[in-house]
């Protein structure tokens, strides 16, 4: 069939042609903004889940809802080895300038600009973020050098400016697990202060399943500040819709057996469905897409996943770390205890512990319970077992 009309979007974070299975999360976000608009507090949320389940897609959908509400939405992806303070300052600057133009700033907005300048100069001596802010730094505000105190000053000032303008500000942070504990603590503390003052500024994040534990370590009250909904594979009914509706809208049907085969292979994981749908569309000669088409396309799907989705992650691991993950895969579907994996490696749990810790730090494993670990990537065990990695 014509590749130019292929409806599937197997790209990182790309909005699928038909978003299904996430209605509850979308409603919760809409309720959050609506309550805050009405002067009511509401728990924010941090979406958690494995790779490829659509966390980034969901943040994109949240941004669209925020735009409909007239909120200022700022999204970013947290990365390692980058200054979080500078990143946040840039976002705060964008928010302030989107709330109103500098020549129309009211008292709270001008004050927030001064706090932002203090914050920027404190954490970036070159003051690159402060360039263009035609105000002086505000002494005694956001200039202590303590990230928790200064970020709180900045977020409160921004919230007051937002309240003065009659709008709200929402930060949408992806890959939240890459924040250091002190950065996460500072962010939670600052947000807590805005909740106490009933200011229209909030944060919604997304990250791997270890985020709730990290947030709890950072601040004990994080579970009262956030909910941590976990998203995963789609139900069979939703997986069928995600696969068939985009094709149907272009006049293309699937045989029931083809749908069953694709849904079973992908296990309902959204990214895998998009990848399989895209490849089988290009592979098939005409509608309907048959079970024979689906079966013949499967090696191409596997090859594509191996060379992109899986390989980019395995290349981050050392030989010893690959051996550990291979041993995990050989133990069967996870999660697995440290002792199980160590026994497979012919080591003690204590000997294998540093390797396990490095894999968790790299985001390749997470600990769903004390002493156990699982892959952060769906079907990673399948990939490891069909390769020669030893």
Q: Domain range spanning residue 98?
A: 23-227
Residue whose tokens read 């050989």: 330
Question: Is the pLDDT assigned to residue 185 strictly greater than 50?
Answer: yes
Residue of 112, 106, 227, 117 lying closest to 169 (CA atoms): 112
For residues 238 and 21, the answer to whether their CB atoms sit within 8 Å is: yes
Q: Verify that 169 and 31 share a domain, yes or no.
A: yes
pLDDT, tens only, 142-179:
999 999 999 999 999 999 999 999 999 999 999 999 99
Residue 279: what pLDDT? 97
- Judge if 264 and 218 occupy the same domain: no
Task: Give the chain's domain count.
Answer: 3
Reported as a pLDDT band with limits 50, 70 and 90, residue 390 is: very low
Query: Would 242 be classed as within a structural domain?
Result: yes
H-helix or E-strand spanning residue 227: strand 226-227
Q: Residue 342's domain is classified under what CATH number?
A: 1.10.10.10
Q: For residues 221 and 185, is the Cβ–Cβ distance under 8 A?
A: no
Phi-psi category of residue 269: left, alpha or beta, with phi > 0 → left and psi -120 to 50 → alpha? beta
C-alpha 168, offset from chain centre? 22
3-state secondary structure 295-346: HHHHHHHHHHHHHHHHHHHHCCCCHHHHHHHHHHHHCCCCCEEHHHHHHHHC
Among the candidates 176, 195, 227, a domain finishes at 227
- Among 313, 329, 356, residue at a domain's last position: 313
Q: Judge whether 12 lies within some domain.
A: no
Are 281 and 337 contained in the same domain?
no
Residue 6 lies in a domain: no
* DSSP H/E element including 170: strand 169-174
* CB distance 342 to 351 below 8 Å: yes
Same domain, 53 and 84: yes
Residue finishing a domain among 287, 313, 339: 313
Across 149-160, b (16+ Cβ under 10 Å) vs e yields: bbbbbbbbbbbb
Read off the pLDDT of residues 119-143 as tens digits, 9 standing for 90 and up: 998 988 776 676 667 788 889 999 9
What average pLDDT does the segment 277-298 reach?
96
What is the C-alpha to C-alpha distance for residues 280 and 376, in angstroms, rounded to an integer? 26
CA–CA separation, 301 and 131 (whole Å): 48
Mean pLDDT score, 29-48: 94
> Do 116 and 240 sit in the same domain of this protein?
no
Instruction: Read off the pTM.
Output: 0.91
Q: Residue 263 — very low, low, confident or very high, per pLDDT cuts 50/70/90? A: very high
For residue 290, what pLDDT is reported?
Answer: 97
Same domain, 113 and 149: yes
């Amino acid at each position: 069939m014509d590749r130019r009309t292929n409806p599937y979007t197997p790209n990182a974070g790309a909005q699928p042609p038909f978003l299904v299975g996430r209605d509850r999360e979308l409603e919760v976000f809409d309720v959050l903004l609506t309550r805050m608009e009405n002067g009511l507090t509401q728990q924010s949320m941090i979406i958690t889940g494995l790779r490829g389940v659509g966390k980034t897609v969901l943040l994109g959908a949240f941004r669209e809802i925020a735009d409909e509400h007239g909120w200022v939405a700022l999204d970013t992806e947290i990365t390692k080895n980058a200054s979080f303070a500078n990143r946040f300052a840039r976002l705060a600057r964008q928010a302030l300038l989107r709330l109103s133009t500098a020549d129309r700033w009211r008292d709270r907005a001008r004050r927030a600009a001064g706090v932002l300048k203090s914050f920027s100069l404190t954490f970036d001596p070159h003051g690159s973020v402060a360039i263009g802010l035609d105000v002086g730094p505000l002494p005694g505000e956001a200039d202590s050098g303590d990230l928790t105190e200064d970020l709180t000053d900045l977020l409160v000032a921004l919230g007051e400016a937002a309240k003065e303008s009659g709008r709200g500000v929402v930060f949408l942070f992806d890959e939240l697990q890459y924040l250091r504990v002190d950065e996460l603590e500072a962010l939670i503390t600052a947000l807590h202060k805005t909740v106490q003052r009933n200011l229209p500024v909030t944060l919604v994040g997304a990250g791997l399943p270890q985020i709730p534990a990290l947030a709890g370590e950072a601040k004990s009250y994080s579970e009262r500040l956030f909910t941590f909904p976990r998203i995963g594979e789609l139900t069979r009914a939703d997986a069928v819709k995600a696969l068939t509706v985009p094709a149907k809208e272009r006049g293309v049907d699937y045989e029931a057996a083809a749908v069953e085969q694709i849904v079973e292979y992908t296990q309902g994981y959204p990214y895998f469905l998009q990848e399989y749908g895209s490849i089988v569309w290009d592979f098939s000669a005409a509608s309907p897409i048959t079970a024979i088409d689906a079966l013949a396309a499967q090696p191409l799907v596997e090859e594509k996943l191996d060379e992109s989705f899986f390989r980019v992650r395995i290349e981050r691991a050392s030989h010893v770390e690959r051996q550990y993950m291979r041993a995990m895969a050989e133990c069967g579907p996870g999660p697995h205890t440290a002792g199980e994996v160590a026994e497979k490696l012919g080591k003690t749990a204590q000997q294998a512990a540093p390797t396990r810790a490095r894999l968790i730090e790299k985001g390749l494993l997470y600990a769903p319970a004390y002493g156990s670990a699982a892959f952060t990537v769906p079907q990673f065990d399948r990939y490891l077992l069909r390769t020669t990695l030893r």
